[in-house]
Amino acid sequence: MDIAIVGAGYVGLVTGVCLAEIGHHVICVDNNEEKIRLLRKGISPIYEPGLEELMKELGRKKRLLFSASISQATKKSQVIFIAVGTPSKKNGDADLTYVENVAREIAENMDGYKLIVEKSTVPAETGKRIQRTIMMNLPKKYRNGKHAVTFDVASNPEFLREGSAIQDFMKPDRVVIGVESKRAEELLKEIYKPLKAKIVVTNINSAEIIKHASNSFLAMKISFANALSRICDHVGADVLKVVEGMGYDKRIGRAFLNAGVGYGGSCFPKDVDAFIRLSEKSGYDFNLLKEVRVINEEQKKIFLRLIEDKLWILKGKTIGVLGLAFKSDTDDMRCAPSIDIINGFVSEGAEVKAYDPQAMENAEMIFKKNVVFCKDPYDLAKGCDCLLILTEWEEFKTLDFKRLGKVMRQNIIFDGRNMFSEKDFEKIGFEYFGIGRGKV
Ligand code: NAD
Ligand code: UGA
């Protein structure tokens, strides 16, 4: 099928590449011309494992094209996915400006039947608004009469995670399609047929809610684990064992119960906010979700307080940060917990050194000269009063901490991701603190 994806970011680009991989002809459109220039050269503007290789291969097979023109892509495609950003406004609402702009531009260029699919995460009832925007902006000659064009709007929320995006897209737990017509349902089923996935068919509003509810539920699990970690620290219990013991119960499940420095990223924080706002507008005060957000914000402060307690005076101390990205296997720094934590140290007058395998370029734009970026963990450790693990990169598992300890001023490690345990460090003379490991 001929498909256009508007917005070639973390979701749009992965969706485009994967739809091309399963046999479709895809044009990825972005209004950032620099992005399009890179993509045409076979360079991925984001770090996502396996993405660049697959993108190059599909480019060679001519199944994947890149363009800065919505007009050209609309004319060439029967199905158009909207995958632009939906960031938070100051009041927590989802800002749908980009979605509206794209819907308008698609409408202005429609010359026959099109299925317009929301891939971006949007609040319930956005589908209706897209439908109306398209109606109002169709060229006059196509609005009615013998040249009238028909179209459908559908919702097809995306559940991929950064860092495992290709795998998540290709082997989804489910594909959700929100449709209001048989034609739209058939087209979407046809597109996803090669995945042989479970398909949940519903109306557009329900599909939109499924996405917000899923992200909010996952955020709630994480906040539950973070709240547990606080109790564990005080009563001498180990949160890792507690969630293991809980997780074997299939009704609970072990996934997304890792206590840490709080969830970050471009989605959980903004989607929880947007869902709280949608609930408010519907007349329901979603206090449970508000508490999820409070626990998440506190989690970073508690981590800072723990470090301050152990280091005593922060002014003049050197803090070595291992990992900056909001999770491993990505270069994404959006709402990364490292931002608030590092800013906390900087405001106390500590010197911060940092290393991340992929996110340093993005991090430099955030921290500017407030952080010294190091070429590797060994360079980072020199003169440090402690090490902090803020992202669970696989490469940290095999670090030679004994060697790092030799060049540090004080051998203390604060493991914000519970990658290790105390016994890994006692032999090499480090003080170790994790999250909720029964020791404050
Ligand atoms: P992103 O910022 O990485 O990408 C959005 C892209 O849209 C950018 O490249 C931007 O230049 C482009 N864009 C904006 N306006 C445009 C226009 N008028 N014409 C063409 N291109 C335009 O965002 P993202 O992380 O890919 O997220 C996109 C949506 O998908 C959001 O709603 C997000 O909540 C949702 N989502 C994201 C993820 C994820 O893991 N990042 C997963 C599931 C869903
Ligand atoms: C999340 C969802 O998992 C995806 O299903 C969804 O499609 C996506 O948001 C989205 O809508 O954008 P993502 O943000 O890429 O995916 O990454 P996650 O693996 O969910 O991690 C989010 C944050 O939670 C990270 O900061 C991670 O470190 C943290 N986390 C995750 C925990 O602190 N504990 C856990 O147990 C799991």
Residues of the chain with pLDDT under 50: none
Minimal-distance CA residue to ligand 2 atom 16:
161
The DSSP annotation for 113-180 comes to -EEEEE-S---TTHHHHHHHHHHHHS-HHHHSGGG---EEEEE------TTSHHHHHHS-S-EEEE-S
Distance, CA of 169 to CA of 401 (rounded, Å): 37
Minimal-distance CA residue to ligand 1 atom 41:
10
Distance, CA of 394 to CA of 116 (rounded, Å): 39
pLDDT of residue 353: 98
pLDDT of residue 71: 96
Looking at the CA of residue 256, tell me the nearest atom of ligand 2: 36
Among 171, 177, 173, 176, which Cα is nearest to 195's?
171
pLDDT, tens digit (0-9, with 9 covering 90-100), for 183-213: 999 999 999 999 999 999 999 999 999 999 9
Looking at the CA of residue 121, tell me the nearest atom of ligand 1: 32
- Give the CA count within 13 Å in the CB-facing half-sphere of 362: 20
| Pairing mode of beta strands 412-415, 431-433 | parallel
Q: 373 pairs with which residues across the strands?
A: 354
Report the amino acid identity of residue 418.
Answer: N
420 CA distance to ligand 1 centroid (A)? 35
Report the amino acid identity of residue 400.
Answer: D
Minimal-distance CA residue to ligand 1 atom 28:
85
Looking at the CA of residue 161, tell me the nearest atom of ligand 1: 40
**Would you say the CB of residue 323 lies under 6 angstroms from ligand 2?**
no
User: For residue 219, which ligand has an atom nearest its CA?
Assistant: 2
Looking at the CA of residue 271, tell me the nearest atom of ligand 1: 34
161 CA distance to ligand 2 centroid (A)? 6
Instruction: Give alpha helix (H) positions in 265-372.
Output: 268-281, 287-311, 337-347, 360-367
Tell me whether residue 384 is one of the annotated catalytic residues.
no
223 CA distance to ligand 1 centroid (A)? 26
191 CA distance to ligand 2 centroid (A)? 26
The answer to whether the beta carbons of residues 295 and 223 sit under 8 Å apart is yes
183 CA distance to ligand 2 centroid (A)? 33
pLDDT, tens digit (0-9, with 9 covering 90-100), for 92-109: 999 999 999 999 999 999
**Would you say the CB of residue 265 lies under 6 angstroms from ligand 2?**
yes
